[in-house]
Amino acid sequence: MMTFPIQILPADLAAEAAALNAKLTKGVDLLSSLTDEDVDIGSTPKDVIFEQDGIRVYHYHPTVEKSKIIKTPLLIVPPLINGYEVADLQPDRSVVRNLLNQGIDVYLNDWGYPRPVDKHRTVDDYINGYLDEHVDFIRHYHGVDKIALFGICQGGTISTTYSTLHQDKISHLTLTVSPIDFDAYRAKHKPHEGLMFTMGADADVDKMVAVHGNVPADVLNVSFLMASPFILNFGKYADVIDILDDRPALLNFLRMEK
């Protein structure tokens, strides 16, 4: 007589169903009690010290004694397509706070949200226009010849280009998850590449810009989801059931989604 390889006992099945129901009930209650203020992002204290055309530069409040602050200030350059909060997600998961705690004087570019009029901006405007003005402002404010740049993702590509063109103004360049070798990204049939790169190789960006001005955010969102479609579209939401009754873990998830 053949037996089914996985033995499912009615008592175990009932206990698992009851536990899941309790978790869902608690999770629904927890979600309904949360407000937008609870899902706080970008909360490290800061001042706006420069603003132009919807673009801001933040100066973060120091967390160490003045005597311990490093002389060379640091400007963080996030990507144009993400909110600056990626560098300051929450108090216990914040690149900004970690840098401040090391005695670094931290500034950050907030590129803001593109308006229809901004479709006329070029890469040169961002690099040799806005970023150059921000660097000069910080240099003159601190009375130093050079500052440090920390580029995140596309912001790292921008920072690398700027540092190459303005070596007399940059003392250090640090990059994280920054695309540099675009010949590798253009290759269409490499086995390690994801669906996003394959799709991007055939995308008519010029036509998209001609029709929309700025590439719509929804197009960018869908494109990035295609990097790992099953995990990013379904997997992470299925996994959230496991943390639905855990307030700190749930808030971590919601902050990242926000």
Confidence of residue 158 (pLDDT cuts 50, 70, 90): very high
Q: Is the pLDDT of residue 151 over 80?
A: yes
Helices (H), the chain: 10-33, 95-101, 123-124, 132-142, 154-165, 182-186, 195-201, 205-212, 217-225, 229-230, 236-239, 247-257
Q: Which of 153, 170, 175, 250 is catalytic?
A: 153
For residue 174, list its beta bridge partners.
150
Q: What is the pLDDT of residue 62?
A: 97
Residue 188 pLDDT level (bands cut at 50, 70, 90): low
Cα angle, residue 127 at apex, residues 122 and 130 outer, rounded to 5° = 90
pTM assigned to the model: 0.83
* Centroid of chain to Cα 170: 23
The answer on pLDDT for 114 being more than 60 is yes
pLDDT of res. 190 = 57
187 pLDDT exceeds 70? no
74 has which bridge partners?
Answer: 106, 148
Measured distance CA(168)–CA(68) in Å, rounded: 26
Q: Give 180-249 as a DSSP string.
A: --HHHHH-S--TT--HHHHHHHT--HHHHHHHHSSPPHHHHHHHHHTTSHHIIIIIHHHHGGGGTT-HHH
251 labelled catalytic: no
| In the predicted structure, residue 253 carries a pLDDT above the cut 90 | no
The three-point CA angle 162-94-35 to 5° equals 120
Q: What is the CATH number of domain 31-180?
A: 3.40.50.1820
Q: What is the pLDDT of residues 224-233, one digit of tens each?
A: 887 777 777 7
What are the angstrom distances between the C-alpha of 11 and each of 6, 18, 23, 188, 238?
A: 15, 11, 18, 53, 25
Percent of the chain with pLDDT over 70: 90
